[in-house]
A = this chain, B = another copy of it.
Amino acid sequence: MNNYTITFEPGNRKIIVPEGSSIKEALTSAGLDFDFPCGGRGTCGKCRIKVLEKNLDPTEKELKYLEEKELLEGIRLACQIEIHDNITLQLNTEKENTHNILKTSTERSYSVEPLIQKVYTAVKAPTLEDQSSDFKRLKESIMLKYPNCKAVKIKIDALQDLPYKIRESEQSVTVIIDKNEIIGVEQGNTTNKMLGIAFDIGTTTIVAYLMDLYTGKELAVSSSLNPQVKFGADVISRTSYANQNEDGIKTMQDALLKIMNKLIDNTVEISGLSRKDIYAITVVGNTCMHHLFLGLTPRYIAAAPYVPVISETIELDAFKLNFNINKAGKVFVLPNIAGFVGADTVAVVLATEMDKSKDIKLAIDIGTNGEMVLGSSKKLVSCSTAAGPAFEGAQISSGMRGASGAIDHIRFGEALTYTVIDNEKPKGICGSGLLDIIACFVEFGIINKRGKILSPDKFTNPAAKAYENHIISYDGANAFLVVPESETSHGRPIMITQDDVTSLQLAKGSIAAGIKILIDKCGVNIDDINEVLLAGAFGNYMDPHSACMIGLIPKELESKIRMVGNAAGTGAKLALVSRSEYEHSNTIASSVKYVELAAEQSFNKAFAKGLQF
């Protein structure tokens, strides 16, 4: 399968995706905030974009919603385009958009003062009257030009280059500075060549953002499956692997670093830039990913009392992790809050500025674990719920990840309708589809309060009548046939079993209980919550109405739900382009209170209640 490059304009942002991907997938991977009002089903005609280079044949749905004139101009519906070639797209066809990348998930201002700085300066030539050392003359010239510059130290590698560089370039050099230390010296003026990479390491997916540290703009995005998946699907099984294999941590760290270097390669390739101009890397991830990235044991996260090794930022030389970037490059790792609330959650708070807001906000990032933060500038409390992998399609009989062939949305109208990613024949259901169908079950009374799939004779809602023939018997219990075998790509039926409902019930029950406990711990009422921020891939795909219908999120909050894209990635990018944001992450990590649900007496009661539909 080929990979193709999608370039988004304005902003010249590039992302590499496999052939057959949808624009919607690409936008989500890129963390771009683009609105699909109907969820990408081609039923609203609102996701207009402009194809700049190619004219592809319009789909039936496009012919329905777009005028002849629009089609001639290259206007298309984003949800309808499949990628089979490199393509350039104009995202905003209505008004000029400065397209500040960091506004993609959350509109916020920040100042560009990157973790690594470059200073161009002319160094005085030495004379018999001024025999000051090269380093002293360099420092004096920097201070003269930038009185606030704090560079007082120099790394040995930079010092070794210094005498040559200043003499090769008639004493004019660009100095690379990390806080108070000169880490590199380059000939001439290279201040406009200063790149950084922000990494968001998820349990399943790794995303790399190539940033221009000079302008603060994003240049390219690349993502990949986390190669540690082969050592275990979730953090608990990876911890077991680390505990049970002598070099387990090293093995998983190496696998991760290899892919991270590959992602760096991808981003510089698509942007036509050089790895050697990358000086800084920021990293966020859940606490286990954070630990495995740094070669720290996750052993004591996984067992009570679940403590991380470190909960502060830590910096190290990029060469120590074999990163193939500028030899002076540095890695900046954001801090963790607790064993199960990691640097990714800190990054979400950083991106959304929840800690600076007077309004009370609830941020939810659902993956294998559901991490939540609730509060305002006064107080923030967080927790993590072992949601299990149901929302990622794992341990669901017909479940799959949100990839080609996955049913991602389902509606019960007069008949059952669904949409499939990439418009293929369906082969399974992903998290958002699962959420939708369970919501339909609840709405139509196909399951009862306890989550039991009812036999048709127990249906009380007349509307459910139309779905009687979907109820089948499977493994000694009722099941719901979603797609018969004749209509699937693999010739097996797609269905929801009683076990599937139970899996989702446990997942939503623990998240609902987590929200309940946080509300109590925060000392607020549900009505006090001004906004619910859904972060992460699943959060951005799922239907808020469905989430409220099944009780994942309290119904009262439905109108307050806002998708914030990959806020963790946004936080990593912010930290990269702004040292004060990076440093502020420590304040967040130490001030967000962590609630250990396992230690809460009220959790079991809340969980039991949360299980109900």
Name A residues whose Cβ lies closer than 8 Å to a Cβ of B: 126-136, 153-156, 159-160, 162-164, 167, 294-297, 299-300, 304-312, 314, 316, 320, 336, 338-339, 594, 596, 598-599
* Chain B hits for A154, CB < 8 A: 310, 314
| Known contacts A159-B314, A160-B294; A126 and B307 CB within 8 A of each other | yes
* Chain B hits for A162, CB < 8 A: 309
B163 and A598 form a contact (CB under 8 A): no
A335 CB to nearest B CB, Å: 9
B159 and A311 form a contact (CB under 8 A): no
| Known contacts A133-B311, A311-B133; A159 and B296 CB within 8 A of each other | yes
30 contacts between A and B (CB under 8 A): A126-B300, A128-B598, A128-B599, A130-B305, A131-B306, A131-B307, A131-B594, A132-B307, A132-B311, A133-B307, A133-B312, A133-B336, A134-B300, A134-B307, A134-B309, A135-B311, A136-B310, A154-B310, A154-B314, A156-B294, A156-B314, A156-B316, A156-B320, A159-B294, A159-B296, A159-B314, A160-B294, A163-B297, A163-B300, A163-B309
Name the residue on B nearest A599 (C-beta). B128
Complex-state Cα separation, A336 to B132, whole angstroms? 11
Complex-state Cα separation, A63 to B553, whole angstroms? 103
Complex-state Cα separation, A310 to B339, whole angstroms? 45
* Chain B hits for A304, CB < 8 A: 128
4 A-B pairs with least C-beta separation: A133-B311, A126-B307, A135-B310, A128-B599
A159 CB to nearest B CB, Å: 6
B164 and A305 form a contact (CB under 8 A): no
* Chain B hits for A155, CB < 8 A: 316
Complex-state Cα separation, A258 to B156, whole angstroms? 19
Complex-state Cα separation, A596 to B164, whole angstroms? 23
Of B127, B159, B309, the contact of A305 (CB 8 Å cutoff) = B127
A596 and B128 form a contact (CB under 8 A): yes
| Known contacts A128-B304, A134-B300; A309 and B159 CB within 8 A of each other | yes
* Chain B hits for A131, CB < 8 A: 305-307, 338-339, 594, 596
| Known contacts A154-B314, A294-B159, A314-B159; A133 and B320 CB within 8 A of each other | no
